[in-house]
């Protein structure tokens, strides 16, 4: 049976997921979920997200278990970005239980899942070519090099003596400037561009 890590502040949604799948653990936010995932190794994380939290979810997609998104306010642009970053799929938060159960099985088997009502909008979303890469600041290069060492945001904050919030800001800025969909992609681009010493 697929072991699920439910990531949502909603007790009602957690209960609903528990009624259709084996929820091994639950967390109210992504930071807590990633710590739990390192302990229990779930097959799939089901993350409730919106436009405010999607960037953080995308930033962790490369270093987390497979992710299935649930959202009540999907935007084609960020769903497309999430899929490019390796997130397994997205469904409406209020999708019928049978649809969510089928999506869990599909996503945990490595398939991409997208609600039929969203397919046209997501694939019709025009992808604009990225402008020339904006150079990283000296501090962003420091953060990128620590990311290359596999350091977590918490470790980066401690090593650079800055807040966790500031680290998240720098990571998001790095991903944006490098047009990277994940931390792993940013590190690979950094190696190619000579920003990270070998």
Question: Residue-wise pLDDT tens for the chain (198 aa)?
Answer: 788 999 999 888 889 999 998 989 999 988 888 888 889 999 999 999 877 788 888 888 777 788 999 988 777 777 877 887 788 889 998 889 999 999 999 988 888 888 887 777 766 654 444 455 678 999 999 999 999 998 999 999 999 999 999 999 999 999 988 888 888 888 888 887 888 886
Phi, psi for residue 91 in degrees, rounded to 5 = -135, 160
pLDDT in tens, 30-68: 888 888 888 999 999 999 987 778 888 888 877 778 899
What CATH number is given for 3-124 in this structure? 3.40.50.2300
Which pLDDT does position 125 carry in this prediction? 53
pTM, entire model: 0.61
Contact at 8 Å (CB) between 95 and 130?
A: no
Strands 3-7, 22-27: pairing is parallel
- Tell me how many degrees the CA angle 107-110-111 measures, rounded to the nearest 5: 65
Q: CATH number for the 138-192 domain, one of 1.10.3210.10, 1.20.140.10, 1.25.40.850, 1.10.10.10?
A: 1.10.10.10
- Indicate the domain borders of the chain: 3-124, 138-192
Alpha-carbon span 155 to 1, nearest angstrom: 34
């Amino acid at each position: 049976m697929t072991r699920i890590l439910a990531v949502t502040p909603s007790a009602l949604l957690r209960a609903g997921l528990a009624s259709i799948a084996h929820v091994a653990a639950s967390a109210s936010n992504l930071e807590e979920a990633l710590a739990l995932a390192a302990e229990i190794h779930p097959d799939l994380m089901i993350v409730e997200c919106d436009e405010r939290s999607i960037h953080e979810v995308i930033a962790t997609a490369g270093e987390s278990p497979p992710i299935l998104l649930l959202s009540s306010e999907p935007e084609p642009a960020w769903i497309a970005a999430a899929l490019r970053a390796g997130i397994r799929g997205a469904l409406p938060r209020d999708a019928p239980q049978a649809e969510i159960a089928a999506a869990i099985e599909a996503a945990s088997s490595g398939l991409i899942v997208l609600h039929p009502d969203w397919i046209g909008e997501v694939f019709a979303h025009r992808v604009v070519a990225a402008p020339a890469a904006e150079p990283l600041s000296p501090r962003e290069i420091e953060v990128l090099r620590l990311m290359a060492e596999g350091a977590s945001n918490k470790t980066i904050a401690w090593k650079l003596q800055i807040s966790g919030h500031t680290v998240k800001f720098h990571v998001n800025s790095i991903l944006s400037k490098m047009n990277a969909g994940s931390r792993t992609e940013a590190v690979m681009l950094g190696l190619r561009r000579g920003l990270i010493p070998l």
